[in-house]
């Protein structure tokens, strides 16, 4: 039977004489369930459910779902306009317009920046920039972030000005940026890096992610990377990178071994 929702001739098909296919039924049901979760206490017009009897508000539930999608689209457009408005800060950073501080990396030349913006993005940087009766101003109007190289520092500052980074820059510097975000308490950057690492797990980077999660005390990232390593044990543990990792991080190697044994034990109990 043709579906009255997705059929090419749906405009001439009408319930109850015609039905809907399983895919449309499941999709509508999942959409309403998702919408219910977005509202306080899950109360969206009395939690409309597609499986309710005919006297219920189930048809209104689909209408609410469409309304919610439209509202989210409008909100997205508003956020894009806001980002476009704020993007002027990137040009200010790029050309050093009215810059009043220099930020020096562990190598390379200093980069011009603005005190007010750095202070707004990080309380740690704010403290480094502040002066009072007991604290001298930064020498030569320069602060140093020696743990970063010049390219990493440039990416960090670009993020502080724009709130984002091109994918290629983020992928190249995600580990160093994550450590810097942890050290200077730049929470938005921490989350930004965390999400990227969670989305890009593979056998070549799982050990790196585990190492960074340990350095930054990121429990969520550590649990996710450990789970990935357990699921891809043979590919990772027998790689040459694991030898280097083990020498550098013996405590994490012990944790991996214990996690592997617990996983084997649990599988034996299930079988």
> pLDDT tens digits, residue range 42-59?
444 444 444 444 444 444
The pLDDT score that the predictor gives to residue 70 is: 85
pLDDT at residue 16 tops 80 = no
Per the CB < 8 A criterion, the answer to whether 218 and 194 are in contact is yes
The pLDDT score that the predictor gives to residue 49 is: 46
The pLDDT score that the predictor gives to residue 224 is: 95
Burial of 15 (0-12, 13-18, 19+ CB in 10 A): exposed
What distance, in Å, lies between the first and last C-alpha atoms of the chain? 44
Domain 201-271 of CATH type 3.40.50.300: no
Burial of 7 (0-12, 13-18, 19+ CB in 10 A): middle
13-17, 53-57, 102-106, 119-123: the lowest-pLDDT one = 53-57
Per the CB < 8 A criterion, the answer to whether 1 and 19 are in contact is yes
pLDDT at residue 6 tops 90 = no
Where are the extended beta strands (E) located within 46-110? 101-105
**Average pLDDT score over the chain:** 83
The pLDDT score that the predictor gives to residue 108 is: 82
d(CA 128, CA 241): 38
pTM exceeding the 0.85 threshold for the entire prediction: no
d(CA 121, CA 216): 19
The pLDDT score that the predictor gives to residue 157 is: 96
234-265: string of b/e by CB count within 10 Å (b at 16+)?
A: eebbebeebeebbeebeebbebbeeeeeeeee
CA-wise closest residue to 50 among 77, 85, 79, 20: 20
Name the residue with higher pLDDT: 266 or 40.
266
The pLDDT score that the predictor gives to residue 242 is: 94
Residue 228: strand, helix, or coil: helix
Domain boundaries, the chain: 10-86, 87-187, 201-271
Model confidence band, residue 38 (pLDDT cutoffs 50, 70, 90): low
Model confidence band, residue 85 (pLDDT cutoffs 50, 70, 90): confident
Domain 87-187 of CATH type 3.30.70.20: no
Share of the chain above pLDDT 90, in %: 51
Element (H, E) at 78: helix 58-86
> pLDDT tens digits, residue range 196-216?
999 998 999 999 999 999 999
> pLDDT tens digits, residue range 149-185?
999 999 999 999 998 899 999 999 999 999 999 999 9
Rounded alpha-carbon distances, angstroms, from residue 223 to 197, 247, 263? 12, 21, 14
Per the CB < 8 A criterion, the answer to whether 178 and 156 are in contact is no
The pLDDT score that the predictor gives to residue 271 is: 61
d(CA 210, CA 246): 12
Element (H, E) at 79: helix 58-86
123-137, 180-194, 201-215: the lowest-pLDDT one = 123-137
Where are the extended beta strands (E) located within the chain? 101-105, 111-113, 142-145
pLDDT at residue 66 tops 90 = no
pLDDT at residue 40 tops 60 = no
Read off the tokens for 55.
């006297």
Any residues with CB less than 8 A from the CB of 108 and at least 6 apart, and which? 149, 150, 151
């Amino acid at each position: 039977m043709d579906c009255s929702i997705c059929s090419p001739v749906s405009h001439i098909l009408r319930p109850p004489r015609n039905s809907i296919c399983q895919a449309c039924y499941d999709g509508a049901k999942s959409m309403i369930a998702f919408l219910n979760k977005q509202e306080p206490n899950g109360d969206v017009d009395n939690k409309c459910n597609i499986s309710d009897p005919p006297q219920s508000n189930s048809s209104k539930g689909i209408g609410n779902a469409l309304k919610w999608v439209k509202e989210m689209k409008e909100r997205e457009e508003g956020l894009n306009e806001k980002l476009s408005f704020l993007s002027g800060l990137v040009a200010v950073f790029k050309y050093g317009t009215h810059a009043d501080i220099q930020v020096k990396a562990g190598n390379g030349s200093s980069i011009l920046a603005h005190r007010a913006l750095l202070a707004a993005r990080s309380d740690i940087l704010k403290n480094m920039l502040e002066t009072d009766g007991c604290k001298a101003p930064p020498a030569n109007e320069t602060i140093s972030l020696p743990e970063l190289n010049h390219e990493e520092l440039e990416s960090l500052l670009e993020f502080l000005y724009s709130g984002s980074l091109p994918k290629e820059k983020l992928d190249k510097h995600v580990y160093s940026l994550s450590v810097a975000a942890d050290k200077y308490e730049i929470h938005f950057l921490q989350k930004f890096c965390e999400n990227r690492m969670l989305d890009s797990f593979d056998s070549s980077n799982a050990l790196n992610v585990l190492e960074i999660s340990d350095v930054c005390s990121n429990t969520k990232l550590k649990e996710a990377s450990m789970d990935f390593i357990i699921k891809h044990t043979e590919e990772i543990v027998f790689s040459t990178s694991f030898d280097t990792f083990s020498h550098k991080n013996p405590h994490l190697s012990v944790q991996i071994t214990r996690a592997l044994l617990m996983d084997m034990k649990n599988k034996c109990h299930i079988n």
